[in-house]
Amino acid sequence: NSFCSNCITMRAYSEQDTFVKIEYNNDKVFLITATPVNIENTTYIVEILKDISKNAKICDDKSNLELNISDLINKLNESSIRDGLTGIYNRRYINERLPVDINDSIVKEKPVSLIMADIDDLKEINDKYGHVIGDKVIISLTQLINDSIRKSSDWVSRYGGDEFLIVLNDVGLDDAYKVAEKIRNEFNSNVFKVDNNIIKVTASFGVYGTESKEFDVEKIIGNVDTNLYKAKINGKNLTYAENNLKLKEVQLSILERRIDDLRDTLNEICISTDEENANEFKLNISKYLDELIVDYIKKI
């Protein structure tokens, strides 16, 4: 009644190949083989479990000393599903675990929500300050995410270079949105010091909640990725969720950002630009600013 952290059965299903692993359980060593079998256009996975406690021996070739089997197996299993930089799960784990959680949510009729996070403009940080600083930024967001989710039921994986996929089990869209906003605001308040420079870094978030009976992992990941993309193209440092209430909050956040940017631009023009040449430009900006404010008031 539990899910293995290194599920070769799901891997055999998704990759249509045979996989083998060793498990250590209750002082016994098991050799497990998972292989796909196609019967009448349906794929089944056959598992073969063999107790090899008395038949197997693991040694270190260099010193010829017998190793601790439990430690060795755990290390091998963990290394295949963990990201080297952050220590969180990797892309392979997503392919193994997410289908199980979605299926579990359908059977138990409970929601599951996904959050996809992406660090804004990390490439520029890497180009300007180096990849060591970029890695520190990635690790910082990782720690913040780990501190913001439940260890017992939620998990996070590194989806790509600076993208993270967070899975919240038995959590609806509204609560998932709140989790994403909490992480975004806390990450936005962090500062990174490089020599005498202070770097402000932000992140964008897409949120998608599923309570349907449809079992389509690729489509679900595509939906949360689309929401992340919408957060990016609407100004970054935003959380976007496909929900009317949340969409309104996102629109207000975008308007607030545009209003603040225009105010800053207008102030700079008033201070630094020749009055004779800037009057028409200032009037146009001021007019657009008024229109945005009116639009903002209407949406409230």
pLDDT in tens, 44-71: 999 999 888 776 665 555 554 455 555 6
Determine the pLDDT at residue 203.
Answer: 96
pLDDT at 262 over 70: no
pLDDT at 244 over 50: no
Tens of pLDDT, residues 134-190: 999 999 999 999 999 999 899 999 998 899 999 999 999 989 999 999 999 999 988
Determine the pLDDT at residue 245.
Answer: 41
Q: For residue 34, what are the contacts with CB-CB under 8 A and spacing of at least 6?
A: 8, 9, 11, 12, 18, 19, 20, 45, 46, 47, 48
Q: Which of 55, 52, 53, 35 has the alpha carbon at shortest distance from 43?
A: 35
Tens of pLDDT, residues 85-125: 999 999 888 988 898 898 888 888 889 999 999 999 999 99
Determine the pLDDT at residue 44.
Answer: 93
Determine the pLDDT at residue 76.
Answer: 63
pLDDT at 296 over 70: no
Across the range 80-87, mean pLDDT stands at 87
Question: How does strand 163-169 pair with strand 28-39?
Answer: unpaired
* SS3 of residue 110 by DSSP: coil
- Cα distance between the two ends of the chain: 48
Q: Taking the alpha carbons of 185, 186, 187, 188 in that order, is the dihedral positive or negative?
A: positive
Determine the pLDDT at residue 19.
Answer: 86
More confident residue, 116 or 252: 116
Determine the pLDDT at residue 84.
Answer: 87
8 A C-beta contact, residue 228 and residue 205: yes
Q: Taking the alpha carbons of 154, 228, 291, 258 in that order, is the dihedral positive or negative?
A: positive
Tens of pLDDT, residues 17-44: 898 888 877 778 888 899 999 998 899 9
Give the burial string for 244-279 (b: 16+ CB within 10 Å, else e).
Answer: eebeebbeebbbeebbeebeeebeebeeeeeeeeee
Determine the pLDDT at residue 135.
Answer: 92
- Give the whole-angstrom CA distance, residue 247 versus residue 243: 6
Tens of pLDDT, residues 188-237: 988 888 777 788 899 999 999 886 666 788 888 988 999 999 999 888 99
